[in-house]
Amino acid sequence: MGHACYFGHGDVVSELLAQGVSPSEPSKFTNERLRGESKPLHIAVHGKRPNIIKLLAANGADLNTRDDVGRTPLHYADGKDTVELLLECGAEIDARDDFDETPLHAAARDGRGAAIEALLANGADLNDRSASGRTPMWVVSLKDPQNLDRLIRGGADINARDSEGRTLLHAAARKGTSDFVLSLLDRGADIESRDLEGRTPLFHAVLGARHTVLKALLGRGADLDVRDAHGSTPLQLAQARNMTYTVGILRQRQGASTETETAASLNEPLQLAQARNMMYTVGILRRHQGASTETETATSLNEPLRSQNFDRGPPAPSRSRNFDPFSPRSRFERETGLTDPMILRWD
């Protein structure tokens, strides 16, 4: 039955039905798109065989029969005619699969533009959410601005959020291209939208190491000083992950004066060193910061006492001529995982 349905052999299908084969009996027919057991209607839809669809429907096939992931034939419909034929025969337009995704979700995810238009024209719900809280707009391919436009024209909310509070722009910033990100912004996506962790798309561009996306967001005015729910800025997040190139992009965009930039380069590692109880590194940073004698003395006395981690000073020099693992630069790098340009100039 499966082969006959896929290749459109109506006479063979009719003969099998006449012999009592059920129009909904699973088949083991497989190809690059069909896996496991599929129902004859699923196979006919994959094969784009309207004559077989009509024949099976006329013989009592269930138009909402499910495959092994809960999808109906309409979830796989590719093309206006196939969508409309299935609907005419009784397919449910907003049927949900095992992941609570509707045929519109599936068409948006797979980039089937004609199916998207046909489903929208027949009243598919743009606001249906999957198990992860995602609307069809959210799952559209990150390289598919044409189908994005189809959904927007149909009334989709470009700033719809999933169960983690993320919008399509968050996803595009982390995994997409700069062109797609710009296309979302041009269509009204909120560049400062925050997810449940308080992170804007700029944070996700940092997390995804999407440097062209990062530059695109910065070029459109993304806020560099925004802080997430953990109190971190995008720059601090990049520093904590030792993302040197990303840090460079963010620092360059800051356009800070030499004085401001120097203060930033010292204060952020200083906070990190203090948080990790690295008193020797704290001492280096405080001395180079040009703190007053009074402040420095108070710090050198009080902080080691509070931490019970006294600063013993640098160990004896290394015997190696080429590399001193106990130099201020090397010890700073080992403790913090950072490379600070001010430290590099001390050697």
Q: What pLDDT does 283 receive?
A: 78
pLDDT at 17: 95
Mean of pLDDT values over 5-12: 94
Q: Domains along the chain?
A: 158-255 (1.25.40.20), 270-347 (no CATH)
Q: Which residue has the higher pLDDT, 95 or 263?
A: 95
DSSP of 7-63: HT-HHHHHHHHHTT--TT--B----SS--S-B-HHHHHHHTT-HHHHHHHHHTT--T
The predicted structure's pLDDT at residue 300: 43
Exposure string (b/e) for 225-258, b if CB count within 10 Å is 16 or more? Answer: ebbbeeebbbbbbbbeeebeebbebbbebeeeee
Nearest Cα neighbor of 185 from 211, 162, 205, 158 is 158
- pLDDT tens track for 299-309: 444 444 344 44
Tens-place pLDDT, residues 250-290: 999 886 433 444 455 545 666 666 656 677 777 787 777 66
Residue 97: which pLDDT band, with cuts at 50, 70 and 90?
very high
d(CA 124, CA 94): 6
User: Residue 142 has what pLDDT?
Assistant: 81
Query: What tokens appear for 113 in the block?
Result: 């533009």
pLDDT tens digits along 32-71: 676 667 899 999 999 999 999 999 999 999 999 999 899 9
Query: How high is the pLDDT of residue 141?
Result: 82
What pLDDT shows up at residue 151? 94
Distance CA 125, CA 129 (A): 9
* Count of Cβ atoms closer than 10 Å to residue 88 Cβ: 13
Prediction pTM value: 0.68
Share of the chain above pLDDT 70, in %: 75
- Whether 239 and 299 have beta carbons less than 8 Å apart is answered as no
Most confident range (mean pLDDT) of 170-174, 249-253, 288-292 is 170-174
